[in-house]
Amino acid sequence: MPLSLSDAHAVRNCEGSRDSWSFRGLNSESEGSDCNKMGKAEFGGYGEPLLVDDVVDKLPIDPFGMDKRSTITITGWFQDLVEESDSGCNGFGFDDAQKEIADHHGLFAGLNWLWNGSMKFEPELGIVKKGGISIPCDGFDGYGVDTRLLDGVFAMDGNVEEFMNFGRFGNWFVSKGAPESRACGKTCFNGVEESTPHDAMFFALGYLGVQDLLTVERVCKSLRDSVRSDALLWRSIHIDRPLSEKITDDALLKLANRAQGTLQCLSLVDCIRITDSGLKRVIETNPRLKTLSVPGCVRLSVDSLLDMLRAFKSVGSPGIKHLRIAGIRSVTEKQFEELQFLLNADNHVEQSAHRLRIYSGVPSYISCDDDCAIDIEACPWCHEFKLVYDCPSESCQGKHQADHLCRACIICTPRCINCGCCIKDRDYEETFCLDSLCLDCWKQRPNCPDMLGEKGASQCTIFRQETSYQFCFYG
């Protein structure tokens, strides 16, 4: 008969019968004295008792059957589960020698074992059910439960031997009561020994971004060593959200040092904590740097960048060829000219093959692959040095041969956030985020009623997935 933990009731007679077990709510009273006799598994026996609230004791765990995760101490034996469950369940491979497991919650220190989650056991079928969905025992992963469906955690303490007879429910965590205990190196659900990473994983490291590389570094020793020592992985460093707001000068230097002087492309997007001195340290130790992209790094100054470029030139080094500085402080004409000179902009191919830059709502940061020397240019209208956008609209392209008349910075020529066409002479709608949408794009929105002039609550999520605001104070 299936056992529902969320009921927190004894479902079988726990009077010494081999077919008995009982479940207690963590904060619930015992279900009769006989069940208490099984109470070797009482939490009090293994450590400090939990602090419980008397009132909470009396409350059912999940009165409305909402499948809320509840913590229930399981006091009893499961040997009948072993007998009843199918052999289709896989062994939890519990190894006495590998008992130490992190108690992730700390709260459960001293508990015998703990079930966190509401699940139904169907031991005779060898499956577990949650919310009506059956999970075959061999679907358990290393945590003993299929975490795609549950956040259940098994934790136990004390008498490990008791559990050796228990059913096979994947991994059990033995808690030493200390959160700093090592995570359990358990055998996985299918009984295969955990081991070192396959060679194939190391090939894949080159396809990971910085954040994932830093995560992989924490997996095991061989991956840590590989991530730290393989300079090829750090030849091109791209820092974007969510790391951009977190990275400091020191952290950047540590990462750049992993390239062992071979850093070629450094891209820091909206890295508001990076300072001139921090960037300078990185540049000085990486003379082979070819592409530097620092859009939105508001603490950087153009003067400092000029110093770095001059230093490269003075030592005869090939120096930086591609520079992206849109969004840092305003550039004067003199600075722009010197930047072009130091980047050898005259020799670049962009003179002959101008690549269209289309506005797309997010700052149009050109990738490291782009061939032009510098991303900003003088806006034909306001003459300030900024990103200047082309127009994808055919009507604009048809009218003018060389440059589109609407070709200008985003302030001088507002554009549709979706398609990038100019909206100066067209009707447009303003979204909730104060972006502009041309009428064609406006009509294509999923929730848009096909009526002109309707200004209902606009849904701009399809065009702007993430909106964030950074406030930087500097002086």
Report the nearest approach of another protein to the CB of residue 249 (Å).
11
Cα distance from N-terminal residue to C-terminal residue, the chain: 72
Please tell me whether residue 219 binds another protein under the rule CB under 8 A: yes
Q: How many CA atoms lie within 13 A of 12 on its CB side?
A: 19
Please tell me whether residue 225 binds another protein under the rule CB under 8 A: no
Report the nearest approach of another protein to the CB of residue 204 (Å).
4
Report the nearest approach of another protein to the CB of residue 413 (Å).
35
- Using CB under 8 A, which of 211, 236, 335, 461 touches another protein? 211
Structure tokens at 2: 């299936």
Residue ranges with strand state E in 54-144 = 71-75, 113-116, 120-122, 127-130, 133-136
Please tell me whether residue 214 binds another protein under the rule CB under 8 A: yes
210: left (phi over 0), alpha (psi -120 to 50) or beta: alpha
- Using CB under 8 A, which of 83, 151, 212, 440 touches another protein? 212
Q: Pick between residue 225 and residue 333 the one whose CB is nearest to another protein.
A: 225
- Using CB under 8 A, which of 10, 109, 216, 409 touches another protein? 216
Q: Pick between residue 57 and residue 194 the one whose CB is nearest to another protein.
A: 194
Using alpha carbons, list the distances in angstroms from residue 293 to 118, 156, 178: 50, 52, 45
- Using CB under 8 A, which of 17, 134, 165, 215 touches another protein? 215
Angle between the 276-284 and 249-257 helix axes, to the nearest 10 degrees? Answer: 10
Please tell me whether residue 251 binds another protein under the rule CB under 8 A: yes
Q: Pick between residue 196 and residue 351 the one whose CB is nearest to another protein.
A: 196
| C-beta neighbour count of 333 within 10 angstroms | 11
- Using CB under 8 A, which of 88, 106, 179, 206 touches another protein? 206
Write phi, then psi, for 156 (nearest 5 degrees). Answer: -145, 160
CB 326 within 8 A of CB 375: yes
| C-beta neighbour count of 348 within 10 angstroms | 17
Q: Pick between residue 297 and residue 345 the one whose CB is nearest to another protein.
A: 297
Q: How many CA atoms lie within 13 A of 180 on its CB side?
A: 0
Site string for another protein, 89-128 (x = CB under 8 A): ----------------------------------------
Please tell me whether residue 149 binds another protein under the rule CB under 8 A: no
- Using CB under 8 A, which of 68, 254, 329, 354 touches another protein? 254
Please tell me whether residue 469 binds another protein under the rule CB under 8 A: no
Structure tokens at 37: 């006799």
Q: Pick between residue 199 and residue 450 the one whose CB is nearest to another protein.
A: 199
Q: Pick between residue 136 and residue 380 the one whose CB is nearest to another protein.
A: 136
- Using CB under 8 A, which of 198, 346, 347, 352 touches another protein? 198
Q: Pick between residue 215 and residue 447 the one whose CB is nearest to another protein.
A: 215
Exposure pattern of 196-230 as b/e (b: 16+ CB <10 Å)?
eeeeeebeebeeeebeebeebeeeeeebeebbeeb
Near another protein by CB under 8 A, which window of 4-12, 75-83, 243-251, 339-347?
243-251
Structure tokens at 307: 């110093």
What is the signed CA dihedral for 321, 326, 328, 334, rounded to 10 degrees? 60
Using alpha carbons, list the distances in angstroms from residue 246 to 238, 241, 272, 273, 274: 14, 9, 8, 7, 10
Please tell me whether residue 247 binds another protein under the rule CB under 8 A: yes
Report the nearest approach of another protein to the CB of residue 286 (Å).
20
* Residues lying near another protein in the complex (CB under 8 A): 141-143, 180, 182-183, 185, 188, 192-201, 203-209, 211-212, 214-221, 223-224, 243, 246-248, 251, 254
